Amino acid sequence: MFDLKQIRKDFPILAREVNGKPLVYFDNAATSQTPKQVIDVIVDYYSNYNANIHRGVHTLSQEATDMYEQARQTIQKHFNIAKAQEVILTSGTTHGINLVANGYDAFLNDGDEILVSAMEHHSNIVPWQMLCERTGAKLKVIPMNEKGELLLGEYHDLLSEKTKLVFCNHVSNALGTINPIEKIIESAHKVGAAVLIDGAQAAPHIKADMQSLNVDFYTVSAHKICGPTGVGMLYGKEELLQKLPPYQGGGEMIAEVTFEKTTYADLPHKFEAGTPNICGGIAFGEALNYMNAIGFDAIAKYEHELLEYATEKLLEIEGLKIYGTAAHKTAVISFNIDGLHPYDIGSILDKLGIAVRTGHHCAQPIMDFFKIPGTVRASFSFYNTTEEVDILVAGVQRAKNMLQ
């Protein structure tokens, strides 16, 4: 049973005030809040188990190792990943993308083509531009329409035997659009291209199934899913991870080191050089346990109700325009008011205790498409309420009255 009152009690930060007002936190697409259950795991780790993992024979090291590897198995189960060694623990989505981008240096040639969607976060654009500069490959863009939906017909026209890689987010961080990644993956595979999906924005709302998607790479960040910052997951098909060279060199990722030659460890350690964010990995697993206990179907249903309610109420404000009106989207609303700068609106909302994001949201090509400098973005989570939406709407109306 979805018990909103109890859920809100799990998040200590929701009880605080900002600028003398109760906090209304609508910046969940940037970072979700952390429940007490996850905070307790972090405190417990540093209080009772803090030690380096995999290499120690003493009790603390063995216990920390067991907890860390159990978290990997939790992540494996959550995303329905076939093998634990296909779960690479990273510092976040950006790390995962760069790991793949650097590995593909060895496989791309001058004239090869890479496709990326028009609605990507900068972290799923810049690494591929850098890869093209190093290899001579060409970057092509899958266009979108005014609703914030990808044009699949034009995508299919771009695909050819030259296409080696396709990159797309599962959900747009700026617009909330849920992209048809199943079709994107299937079409890419028909021409022999590998696909990486940026799942950072999807993970809080959608329980992605790696086996069903048949995706080659999928990457997420824990801090979007009620976990801590500085940790994330890259899934990769075993045969592809075996082919990729290591992204970083150091301890843990080696089998043997001599001054003449180094051999690398088996997966997943081949890509996990150095001491990892041990506590973060353990807390990542606990965050998934917490959200699964609530249930992703219940979360999706409630968040959709919040999205519909907030959309209806915000559109009652004269001059307000929403960017991103795709038929399928998560609980994100990006908007502007005629003649007003999003930063000014966001600053006034902050004085009222309302946290929203303003700017281009690390998705500047989207803003260029709409010919705007940025938007105000309100992004909702399962611990938000319709009462908080009413506070937001009143705050936006107040900001409009003050600024016009």
Pick from 213, 181, 220, 197: nearest CA to 328: 181
Pairing of strands 194-198, 163-169: parallel
Largest CA distance in the chain: 71
Report the 10 Å Cβ neighbour count for 221: 30
Amino acid code (one letter) for 394: A
**Cis preceding linkage at 268, omega within 30:** yes
Structure tokens that stand for 200 in this block: 């950072």
> Do residues 317 and 397 make contact, with C-beta atoms less than 8 angstroms apart?
yes
Structure tokens that stand for 183 in this block: 């079709």
Task: Give the separation between CA 217 and CA 247, rounded to whole angstroms.
Answer: 15
Measured in degrees and rounded to the nearest 5, phi and psi for residue 295 equal 105, 125
Which residue among the candidates 132, 168, 279, 362 is catalytic per the annotation?
Answer: 362
Structure tokens that stand for 115 in this block: 């496709």
Residues 6+ away with beta carbon under 8 Å from 84: 69, 72, 73, 76, 268
Amino acid code (one letter) for 378: A
The verdict on whether 362 is a catalytic residue reads yes
Q: What angle do CA 335, 337, 338 make, to 5 degrees?
A: 135
Residues 6+ away with beta carbon under 8 Å from 55: 61, 251, 252
Q: What angle do CA 16, 22, 24 make, to 5 degrees?
A: 95
Instruction: Report the catalytic residues.
Output: 362
